[in-house]
Amino acid sequence: MDITYSIDLYDKDGDVYETGVYLSFNDTMIRFKNYNEFSDFVDMLPNMREEILSEFSNERRSFELSTKKITLNKFGKVINSDYYYKSSKDI
């Protein structure tokens, strides 16, 4: 899944019509009012990931989480990610 971001939304003339930090993936866009709100969200993700993994492990099937590193370009876009999950069927 590719995740892209935008700072503010612009109309066809290049004028800002809505401010914020936007994350887009597939047909979904998430809006954060400002950088601090976005940063708070990012800070919550590691705990959410562990919690979700725990739920999968306990209720559905075993998962092994392997985490290496993530590389961002100067604009904050992910250019290389070695984060992945393997189901117990793949191990």
pTM over the 0.75 mark = no
Identify which of 69, 63, 64 has the alpha carbon closest to the alpha carbon of residue 83.
Answer: 69
The ranges assigned to domains in the chain are 3-87
Residue by residue, pLDDT tens for the chain (91 residues) are 788 999 999 999 999 999 999 999 888 899 999 999 999 989 888 888 888 887 776 655 544 555 445 555 556 555 555 544 444 444 4
- Beta strand 78-87 with 16-25 is unpaired
Give strand pairing partners of 84.
66
Q: Which of 36, 18, 12, 25 is nearest to 77 (CA)?
A: 25
